[in-house]
Amino acid sequence: MPFGALTFVLHGVIAMASLVAAAFPHAKVLENAPPGINYKIPKGTHPWTSTKFTRPSQNIQKIHGFTGTKNTNARSVAAVLGAHQRQVGGFGYENVTAANAFGTQYGTEVLWNGFRTLLLLDTGSSDTWAVPQSFVCIDYSGQIVPQVACQFGDPYPGDFSTTDLVTPDQHMYIQYGDGEVVTGPMGFSDITLGNMTIKKQETCLANTTYWFGNNQTSGLMGLAFPSLTNAYLGLGEDHDPTNQVQYSPLFTSMVNQGKVPPLFSIAIDRNSSGGMIAWGGMPPTTGLDMSQMATMDMIITNLIDQPITAYQYSFYTIIPDGWHYGQKSAYEKYPYIVDSGTTLCYLPPDLADAISAAFQPQAIYLWMYGGYFTSCDAIAPIVAVVLNGIRFFINTVDLIYRDMVDPLTGLCMTAIASGGTGPYILGDVFMQNALVVFDVGEAKMRFVPREFY
């Protein structure tokens, strides 16, 4: 039966990711995975039968870009994976916070129990949370500091009532790769996005945070799979993995409540001012050549210290054909995570070095940032990632961040970074040059170029 015809029903916390994974009982394990991580490549494919995909979505929201002054991209997939790899003896992404110090984030407005709230949009995590008025802001040492130090926008005006709590002793706890911490009780909230309301969505009101905000957003909307949720039984200090509780995150609940078909799509504007997210279909973008659509299998990313990810999807992971840069090509096959919460593209070190050398003048690696810098008026090479035989070019204007200047050297950061031992990441600099479709129902990622050279 085509996957798009499956009916998604929750029994307890059975999630659509389980249904997707069940379609691939046999899978090839990718060799040469980084420490603590394996990948499974599905052997089977499913015909694309969804007729709703080609239609404009009836539920479209604007997304807004925010350029911060520090640590605005610290909760990216790269930071989370960096913390994971260091726990299992690997390395990579150590300087992701510095490398993205002035990166762009994207957020969208929701109604949280009727209160208008601006949330960061993150396809690389799964929990949805906001800060209440009573939240406590702490510094890196755990000392309480004024709320303004966490740089949130307007907080949610209240707390969970006793009847709204999931259980009296269930909480969310996340510690990101740069040390940021978000924790608080889990409860049920009605979340309205555009013209639909998701009833009794499990969310967190974060009563304690160590956070670097942008003074506009008040929390985060995670759009990844249930296997990456961070709910735990017990009091706020108890985060034992044996007490972890998987639950249905926001997009999973949208599907299970029959609000939308199991897909969403994102179109980020190239000028970083914002874009659109379309739930259950396509945004009304113009100038797209649908014959150039690239369709890729989603890959199961198995985090060895999180057993559930061995058979359920976690990140939105694909394996590109390769890369073109200047007059050269590289066709080694590596997994990449598509992540709206990461500004840069994180590549294998040798490839990152080679592309950086193709800038004129060539970009140099600055260890204190973990990134590559070149002259702010440098000539960037033509760079493209190849997906299902189609070249997706990254506009040369986007390859140099002219507002991200190292004060000591006067050099500007490039959009290419080293991903260490992997996995690697296609971040916003890629996404703003393509329409990206997260087709969970078919276990596919679909991409349409938005610009051509």
- Which of 122, 297, 398, 428 is catalytic? The answer is 122
Q: Which of 272, 222, 245 is nearest to 76 (CA)?
A: 222
398 given a catalytic annotation: no
**CA 185 – CA 109 distance, rounded (Å):** 22
**CA 246 – CA 53 distance, rounded (Å):** 29
Amino acid at the residue 175: Q
**CA 59 – CA 219 distance, rounded (Å):** 22
- Which of 178, 339, 398, 439 is catalytic? The answer is 339
CA dihedral angle for residue 229, residue 235, residue 238, residue 242, rounded to 10 degrees: -60
Q: What is the DSSP string of 417-452?
A: EE-TTS-EEE-HHHHTTEEEEEETTTTEEEEEES--
Q: Which of 272, 212, 274 is nearest to 401 (CA)?
A: 272
Amino acid at the residue 211: W
Q: Which letter, b or e, does each residue of 412-421 get, where b requires 16 or more Cβ atoms within 10 Å of its Cβ?
A: bbbbbbbbbb
Residue 123: burial class (beta carbons within 10 Å; 0-12, 13-18, 19+): buried
Sequence-ordered list of residues with C-beta below 8 angstroms from that of 258, at least 6 positions apart, any chain: none
Sequence-ordered list of residues with C-beta below 8 angstroms from that of 337, at least 6 positions apart, any chain: 77, 124, 301, 315, 316, 317, 423, 424, 425, 426
122 given a catalytic annotation: yes
Amino acid at the residue 16: M
Integer angstrom CA distances of residue 85 from 157, 166, 225, 303, 376:
38, 31, 20, 9, 33
Residues with catalytic function: 122, 339
